[in-house]
């Protein structure tokens, strides 16, 4: 595409230089349209795969462009494997690995060493994994790897730093209801996923000192941060022969995992329809609506069609149907987008989110439902599909912005059981999607009449009573009384 645009610019410039008018421009346009190029081919870099003692895999992508080396450690497993009592400890662990010091160094000493050697570190995680990464100058690699390894392998979990984290989270919990969008999304997750890690939202019980103690952190750490769950990635100015001794020292004499990692429970996603209200005296309403779907991320025509269909529906910004119809044409909403989650191991949800003025709340929900129905009744146009496919394929290269990104993706795909060439399969699958494929996947998996609808807003402002959509449940938030009867609000009259 870039070459075609360059050719067009050149011909237009030539026409202008020659004093040509519209006729000359038409000639140039026709000439450009006749240009043909072979399909662009992109061969992503393929990492080397090595193995350390104990079967620990190492993914290496050498890159001599800069005198920098990055090392990534990914541990399979997180708080979701051990239940709600370990939710806070598992959430705090990545940050406390970095900030809580080591058994031999106080937190401030670790900070000074990392600053002195200009070592950048990143720690993070979620319900099913924990990761730690570092980036350093090649000349400091041995020292940086030793410091970083001490952080990962011998954390102190300093009680003062842990208490700081706990206080910040308690403050965060107390302010959750102040943000309507955050409140809507967290409550919707709980509605859909219930008592499952996907639906958990941190509360004061999770943050009690009993559940968030150095001893509990240590117990969970021993079961997650251990060799059987570890994969390593290395990128940058280093070869396998150069990095191998440091990595072997990193994993040497590492105590084995005390027990196999238990399987996390699969989510039981809500199948019952319902309309829910969190009343708030707000000028805007935040709306989330969706239902369960069994479609997963896998190498199937339906999966690829769902990605293109989701883009057409609402995931592609201003060109999507939701935003162009709900916002641009009807002026009903400030924003609108679709969501279609497709995890690897279980189903997800499909639906939409939007924010609108209170006086157009129900009209906006009805419009979103109508757009969903349209997607199940007739195929999108070829232009819509072509545009969505082109955007997806053009965005493919951004999966390879850096060697570290290539390595991280490969480590993730191997961990969740996707094939090593998943990105290449993804592009081929996306390119094969046709309008009838999109229609088929929407008819199979999208059901506008089975939605769970959640609204955070002021029922006194609503254009129609919310019970127009069905029986309404008022959710109890922050001690407000729960109710199963419709709210008493009525449409606000003009003026």
Q: State pLDDT tens for residues 124-142.
A: 998 899 999 999 999 999 9
What distance in Å separates the CA atoms of residue 312 and residue 320, rounded to the nearest whole number? 5
Is residue 14 predicted with pLDDT exceeding 70?
Answer: no
Q: Is the dihedral of CA 59, 425, 321, 471 positive or negative?
A: negative
Residue 341 three-state SS: coil
State residue 32's pLDDT score: 63
Write down the pTM of the prediction: 0.84
Q: State pLDDT tens for residues 202-232.
A: 999 999 999 999 999 999 999 999 999 999 9
Q: Do domains 48-251 and 274-474 have the same CATH topology?
A: yes
Which run of H or of E encompasses 219? Answer: helix 214-224
Phi, psi values for residue 379, rounded to 5°: -70, 155
Specify the CATH superfamily of domain 48-251. Metalloenzyme, LuxS/M16 peptidase-like (3.30.830.10)
What distance in Å separates the CA atoms of residue 436 and residue 305, rounded to the nearest whole number? 9
Of the candidates 217, 231, 232, 227, which has an alpha carbon nearest to the alpha carbon of residue 93?
Answer: 217
For tokens 């662009």, the residue is 40
Find all residues with CB under 8 Å of 57, minimum gap 6, and list them.
49, 50, 51, 231, 232, 414
Kindly report the CA angle at 419 between 413 and 425, in degrees rounded to 5? Answer: 105
Q: Please, which pLDDT band fits residue 485 given cuts at 50, 70 and 90?
A: very low
Q: State pLDDT tens for residues 374-390.
A: 999 999 999 999 999 99
Q: State pLDDT tens for residues 25-75.
A: 566 667 666 776 565 565 678 899 999 999 999 999 999 999 999 999 999
21 burial (CB, 10 Å; 0-12 / 13-18 / 19+) is: exposed
What distance in Å separates the CA atoms of residue 191 and residue 490, rounded to the nearest whole number? 26
For tokens 């449409």, the residue is 491
Q: Per-domain residue ranges for the chain?
A: 2-33, 48-251, 274-474
3 burial (CB, 10 Å; 0-12 / 13-18 / 19+) is: exposed
Phi, psi values for residue 465, rounded to 5°: -60, 140
Q: List the structure tokens of 264.
A: 């996390």
274-474: which CATH number, 3.30.830.10, 3.40.50.300, 3.30.70.1400, 1.10.8.640?
3.30.830.10
């Amino acid at each position: 595409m870039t070459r075609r645009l360059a050719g067009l610019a050149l011909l237009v410039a030539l026409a202008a230089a020659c004093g040509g008018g519209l006729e000359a421009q038409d000639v140039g346009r026709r000439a450009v349209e006749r240009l043909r190029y072979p399909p662009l081919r992109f061969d992503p870099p393929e990492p080397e795969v090595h193995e350390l003692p104990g079967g620990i895999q190492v993914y290496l992508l050498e890159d001599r462009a800069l005198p920098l080396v990055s090392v990534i450690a990914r541990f399979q497993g997180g708080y979701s494997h051990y239940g709600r009592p370990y939710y806070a400890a598992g959430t705090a662990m990545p940050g406390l690995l970095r900030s809580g010091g080591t058994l031999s160094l106080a937190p401030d000493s670790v900070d000074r060493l990392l600053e002195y050697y200009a070592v950048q570190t990143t720690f993070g995680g979620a319900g099913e994994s924990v990761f730690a990464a570092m980036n350093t100058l090649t000349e400091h690699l041995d020292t940086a790897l030793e410091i970083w390894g001490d952080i990962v392998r011998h954390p102190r979990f300093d009680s003062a730093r842990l208490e700081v984290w706990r206080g910040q989270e308690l403050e965060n919990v107390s302010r959750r209801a102040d943000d309507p969008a955050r409140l809507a999304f967290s409550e919707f997750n709980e509605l859909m996923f219930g008592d499952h890690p996907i639906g958990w939202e941190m509360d004061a019980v999770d943050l009690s000192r009993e559940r968030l103690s150095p001893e509990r952190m240590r117990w969970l750490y021993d079961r997650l941060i251990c060799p059987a769950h570890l994969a390593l990635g290395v990128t940058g100015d280093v070869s396998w022969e150069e990095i191998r001794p440091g990595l072997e020292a990193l994993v040497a004499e590492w105590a084995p995992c005390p027990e196999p990692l238990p399987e996390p429970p699969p989510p039981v996603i809500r199948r019952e329809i319902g309309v829910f209200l969190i009343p708030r005296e707000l000028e805007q309403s935040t709306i989330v609506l969706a239902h369960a779907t069994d479609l997963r991320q896998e190498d199937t025509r339906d999966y690829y069609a769902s990605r293109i269909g989701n883009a057409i529906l609402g995931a592609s910004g201003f060109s999507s149907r939701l935003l162009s119809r709900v916002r641009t044409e009807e002026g009903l909403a400030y924003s609108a987008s679709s969501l279609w989650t497709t995890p690897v191991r279980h189903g997800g949800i499909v639906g939409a989110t939007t924010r609108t003025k209170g006086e157009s709340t129900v009209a906006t929900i009805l419009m979103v439902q109508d757009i969903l129905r349209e997607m199940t009744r007739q195929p999108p146009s070829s232009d819509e599909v072509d545009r969505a496919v082109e955007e997806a394929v053009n965005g493919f290269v951004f999966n390879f912005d850096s060697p570290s990104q290539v390595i991280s993706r490969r480590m993730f795909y191997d961990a969740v059981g996707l094939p090593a060439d998943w990105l290449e399969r993804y592009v081929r699958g996306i390119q094969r999607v046709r309008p009838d494929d999109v229609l088929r996947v929407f008819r199979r998996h999208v059901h506008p009449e089975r939605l769970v609808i959640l609204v955070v807003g002021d029922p006194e402002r609503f254009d129609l009573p919310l019970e127009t959509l069905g029986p309404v449940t008022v959710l109890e938030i922050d001690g407000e009384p729960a109710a199963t009867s419709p709210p008493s609000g009525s449409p606000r009259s003009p003026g």
